[in-house]
Amino acid sequence: MAGQIIASAFPAIVVHAQGLAPSRIGMISGLFYGTAFGVGGLASPAFGWLADVTSIATIFDLSAWFPLVGLVALRLRESRPKRSGA
């Protein structure tokens, strides 16, 4: 359930990034999906090793904090001045 909630924002993020580079929609999609699958593929063995060394409960506890990284990232975004209606 938590994975579904976290993954539900992914399409919105990709669409936002495509809006930043409208002439490169395919490239943006490929970069985002490739990076997501690549990081997942690289992290899986590390989490498996950590689960073997400690316990699966440790991995669940660690993974529960990952959404906090997203909240911290919200603070990093650039604030834009509001446009006037003129």
Q: Is the pTM of this model over 0.75?
A: no
Q: What is the pLDDT of residue 80?
A: 60
Q: What is the pLDDT of residue 35?
A: 87
Output the tens digit of pLDDT for each of the chain's 86 residues: 556 666 667 777 788 888 888 898 899 889 988 888 888 888 889 989 999 999 999 998 988 888 787 777 777 766 565 666 55
Q: Which two tokens stand for residue 61?
A: 């506890």
Rounded-to-integer distance, Cα 76 and Cα 74, Å? 5
Q: What is the pLDDT of residue 83?
A: 63
Read off the amino acid at residue 59: I
Q: What is the pLDDT of residue 48?
A: 92
